[in-house]
């Protein structure tokens, strides 16, 4: 099943890797926002099937972005998966408490990223 995925990530190299991985491994349509504020706007406009959200970003971090997504009735139902270099259990727990359906740790495997996201949506 092809998904419309919004990637909120400030690193251009990771943006490219995730886009290529999801497009070629899963046939998904990927749009990119380079920060939390832009991510909030695009989420409301595009209504993606899934938001893949970095934690460490300038201006607004991923946790605050997720908090605002879940507080907005227009975006509250969109599943969020964090993608972060922060791998501590407390960080993962914080993401879950904010309403994320999953938490992937960088570096991730581009060959399995698509199937991991699809599995999280099914569970």
pTM reported for the whole predicted model: 0.96
**Per-residue b or e along 105-119, where b marks 16 or more CB atoms closer than 10 Å to that residue's CB:** ebebeeeebbeebee
What range defines the domain where residue 109 resides? 4-122
What pLDDT, in 10s, does the model give residues 6-62? 999 999 999 999 999 999 999 999 999 999 999 999 999 999 999 999 999 999 999
Residue 86 pLDDT exceeds 90 = no
Angle at 40 between CA 52 and CA 17, to 5 degrees: 30
Instruction: Report the CATH number at residue 74.
Output: 3.40.50.2300
Q: How many domains does the chain divide into? A: 1
Who's near 92: CB < 8 A, 6+ residues apart? 82, 103
The residues facing 8 across adjacent strands are 33, 53
Q: How remote is the C-alpha of 34 from its chain's centroid?
A: 12
């Amino acid at each position: 099943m092809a998904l419309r995925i919004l990637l909120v990530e400030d690193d251009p190299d990771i943006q490219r890797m995730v886009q290529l991985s999801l497009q070629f491994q899963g046939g998904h349509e990927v749009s990119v926002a380079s920060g939390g504020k832009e991510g909030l706007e695009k989420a409301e406009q595009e209504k993606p099937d899934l938001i893949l959200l970095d934690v460490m970003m300038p201006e607004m971090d991923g946790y605050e972005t997720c908090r605002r997504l879940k507080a907005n009735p227009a975006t509250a139902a969109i599943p969020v998966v964090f993608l972060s270099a922060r791998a501590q259990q407390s960080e993962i727990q914080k993401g879950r408490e904010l309403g994320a359906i999953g938490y992937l740790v960088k570096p991730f495997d581009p060959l399995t990223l698509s199937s991991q996201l699809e599995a999280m949506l099914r569970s």
